[in-house]
Amino acid sequence: MHQMTTAEATVAALIAHGIDAVYALPGTHSDHLFDALYKQKDQLPTIHTRHEQGAAYMALGAALATAKPQVYAVVPGPGLLNTGAALLTAYGMNAPVLALIGQIPHADIGRGVGHLHEIRDQSGILARLTDFSARVANPGEAARLVAEAFQAMRAGRPGPAALECAIDVWGQRGDVGAIAPLRPPESSIDEDAVVAAARCLGASRRPLIVCGGGAQDASEEVTLLSEMLQAPVLGYRRGRGVLDSRNPLSVTLPLGRLLWGEADVALGVGTRLQMPQQAWGLDDDLAIIRIDADPQQAARFREPAVALIGDAKPILRRLLDLLPAHNRLRESRKEEMLERQARMRTQLAKLAPQIALLEAMRAELPEDGIYVDEVTQLGFAARLTWPVYKPRTFLSPGYQDNLGWGFATALGAQHARRDVPVLAISGDGGFLYTANELATAMHHRIPLVTVVFSDGAFGNVRRIQEERYGNRLIACDLTNPDFVRYAESFGAAAERAGSPEQLRAALRRAFANRAQPTVIEVPVGPMPSPWEFIHMPAVRN
Ligand SMILES: Cc1ncc(C[n+]2csc(CCOP(=O)(O)OP(=O)(O)O)c2C)c(N)n1
Ligand SMILES: [Mg+2]
C-alpha cells in the first residue's frame, strides 16, 4: 500500500499500462491531475492543444496509427462536449481512446446547483458515448478503474472508455494498492465453427473476402488466405491496406461490388458489411461467413452461415491450418483480376483531376508513410484509387465521415509515429475545423505535412445543390484566408502548388523537413462527382 492522491494513482496506472503521452487541455477541475502529470513529465509527457477537440482527435490519431490505447484529459461540461465528435468517431472506429474527464465537487453531483462547467448527467452522457465509463470516487479505486477501462477498451469489440473524477476527489490522499494491468480475458476459438468455415470456403467457387478496420492487425493472415482461396479482398475506408494494393487480388469499390454480385461465399473480417449487405443485396446463393469481435454485429443484417466471434488474427490462423484439407484445386485469378482492374481504372479515369493530384502525393509519400483522409473531393477519390501498401497507413474516418477530423487526427498520428512521415489532406472547409492546432504542431514540434485543396466551397455540398437542386446554392461558398500566410504566421513552412507537378516538388521539400510542420495549399476548381462509384445499386436480390 502507498499513500497517494487519486490523481497520482491514476497517472501511475496510465504509466503501468504503457501510456507514453497524454493529450490534454487543463482547467481548474483537473489541476490536481495536471500536477500529478507534472511530477511524471519525463515518463509521461503532456501534449496540450488549443481546443479540446484537438486533444481528443490527437489521441484518436495516435491510437489508429499505433494500434495501442491512448489517453486524453479535459475539463467537464464544455470541455467534454468539445471532444464529442472525436469521441463519437473513436466509437465508430472501435478505437481505444480513454477520456479522463473532470467533474464538479463530489457532494454536489446531480444537484443542479450551477457549479462551474456543471452539466446535467455527465455520467449518463459518457455512458452513451462509450461502452465503459465510471466515476472514480476515491484514491483506492483509481488504479482498478483505470485497469478496468483498459481491459474494456480491448475486450470484445474495442472502443473508447471514459473515467470522470470530481474536482475534490482528484486531490484526495489515501491508501492505494496494486497498480497493474488486468490479465486480458481468456478467449477461445469455436473449433466446430472454424471447421464449418473451412469446409464452406474450401468448397466455394467464387469466394470474396471483405475487410474492415478489425482486419488491420491480421494483414499477414488475410494475405495467406486470399492466396490459398484465390479470393479477391475488398477494402473500402477502414479495410484499405490489409491486402497490399499491388496484389492483383486487392480491390476497392466499385470492382468489389461486381465481385459481391458473383460470389458464392463472402467472408467478412472485422467489418460491419453494411454497404454490401444493405446496398448491394443478399440472396440465397450467397453464404456469408463472419469473423467479428462482436456477436451482435455478426448477425445484424442476416444470420450468417458461420459466425466466428473473437479477434481476427488467431481465428484466421486456425482457419489457415484447417483450410488445406478442404480446399479445392484453384487456378490463379491473377490475369483475370489484372484485366478487370485495368478496365475499372478506365472507368474511374472520369475522376482524372482528383487522380492526378493523388498520384502526385502517393509518388512522394514513402511506402510506410501514413495517409490521413478527409471528407473532401480528394478523399472520396482516394478511398477508391489510393494505393495502400501496409496496414494502418490509410486512416479514414469510417461511417461517421466526420468532416474536420483529419488535421488534428493526423497530428496525433505524427506525434505517436515520429518514425514515418504522415500526410494529412483536407478541403478548405475541413481544414479550418482544427487549423488552430498548427500552434500545437509548432509548440510540440510535430512535423506533419498537410495539403489543403481550396476550391472556395464546401465543394461536395455545392455540386449536389447544382446537380440535384436546380443550382439553388446555399451555405456552400467559402471566404478563405490566405492559407500560406496563415500557416506562416504560426511559423510553419508553407507554399502554394498550382499543379500536380508543383505539388510533387513541394511535398518532396516538405517530407525532407522534419523540423517543422508544412502546409501546402493547392487551389482547385470544381471536380467530377465520385458518387456513381460509391452509391451503387444492388447486384443481388
Ligand atoms: C461533421 C460534418 N459536418 C458536415 C458534413 C457534411 N459535409 C460533407 S462534405 C462537406 C463539404 C466539405 O468541404 P471541403 O472540406 O472544402 O471539401 P470539398 O468538398 O470542397 O472538397 C460537408 C459540409 C460532414 N460530413 N461532417
Ligand atoms: Mg472545398
Give the DSSP per-residue string, 20-49: --EEE---GGGHHHHHHHHHTTTTS-EEE-
Determine the pLDDT at residue 239. Answer: 98
Give yes or no for residue 428 CB within 6 A of ligand 1: yes
Determine the pLDDT at residue 297. Answer: 84
Q: What is the mean pLDDT of residues 436-440?
A: 98
Task: Convert the pLDDT of each residue in 451-462 to its tens digit.
Answer: 999 999 999 999
Determine the pLDDT at residue 299. Answer: 83
Q: How confident is the model at residue 356 (pLDDT cuts 50, 70, 90)?
A: very high
> Residue 495 pLDDT more than 90?
yes
Could you tell me which of 381, 382, 337, 371 has the C-alpha nearest to residue 246?
A: 337
Which atom of ligand 1 lies nearest, measured to the CA of 405? 1
Q: What is the dihedral of CA 416, 420, 424, 425, to 10 degrees?
A: -160
Give yes or no for residue 397 CB within 6 A of ligand 1: no
Task: Convert the pLDDT of each residue in 295-334 to its tens digit.
Answer: 888 888 889 999 999 999 999 999 999 999 999 999 999 9
Give yes or no for residue 460 CB within 6 A of ligand 1: yes
Q: How far is the CA of 381 from the centre of ligand 2 (A)?
A: 14
Q: How far is the CA of 427 from the centre of ligand 1 (A)?
A: 8
Could you tell me which of 124, 63, 30, 51 has the C-alpha nearest to residue 10?
A: 30
The Cα 504–Cα 423 span in angstroms is 13
> Beta strand pairing status for 250-251 and 265-269?
unpaired
Determine the pLDDT at residue 184. Answer: 81
Which atom of ligand 1 lies nearest, measured to the CA of 378? 21
Do 270 and 293 contact (CB within 8 A), yes or no? yes
Continuous segment of H or E residues that includes residue 79: helix 78-82
Task: Convert the pLDDT of each residue in 163-203 to its tens digit.
Answer: 999 999 999 999 999 889 998 878 899 999 999 999 999 99
Q: Which residue out of 455, 460, 478, 535 has the highest number of ligand 1 atoms within 8 Å of its CB and is therefore the one to mutate?
A: 460
Q: How far is the CA of 477 from the centre of ligand 1 (A)?
A: 12
> Beta strand pairing status for 97-103 and 161-166?
parallel
Q: Taking each helix axis as running N to C, give the angle between helix 352-364 and helix 377-385, from 0 to 180 degrees, rounded to the nearest 10.
A: 70
Q: How far is the CA of 507 from the centre of ligand 2 (A)?
A: 20
Q: Which residue out of 83, 354, 375 has the highest number of ligand 1 atoms within 8 Å of its CB and is therefore the one to mutate?
A: 375
DSSP string covering 275-314, please?
IIIIII---TT-EEEEEES-HHHHTSSS--SEEEES-HHH
Residue nearest to atom 12 of ligand 1 (CA): 458
**Who's near 129: CB < 8 A, 6+ residues apart?**
84, 87, 88, 91, 160, 162
Average pLDDT, the chain: 97
Q: Which residue out of 400, 454, 458, 474 has the highest number of ligand 1 atoms within 8 Å of its CB and is therefore the one to mutate?
A: 458
E-strand spans in 462-514?
A: 493-496
Which atom of ligand 1 lies nearest, measured to the CA of 527? 21
Question: pTM above 0.85?
Answer: yes
Determine the pLDDT at residue 300. Answer: 85
Q: Quick one: which ligand is closest to 464's CA?
A: 1
Give yes or no for residue 430 CB within 6 A of ligand 1: yes
Q: Taking each helix axis as running N to C, give the angle between helix 31-39 and helix 6-16, from 0 to 180 degrees, rounded to the nearest 10.
A: 50
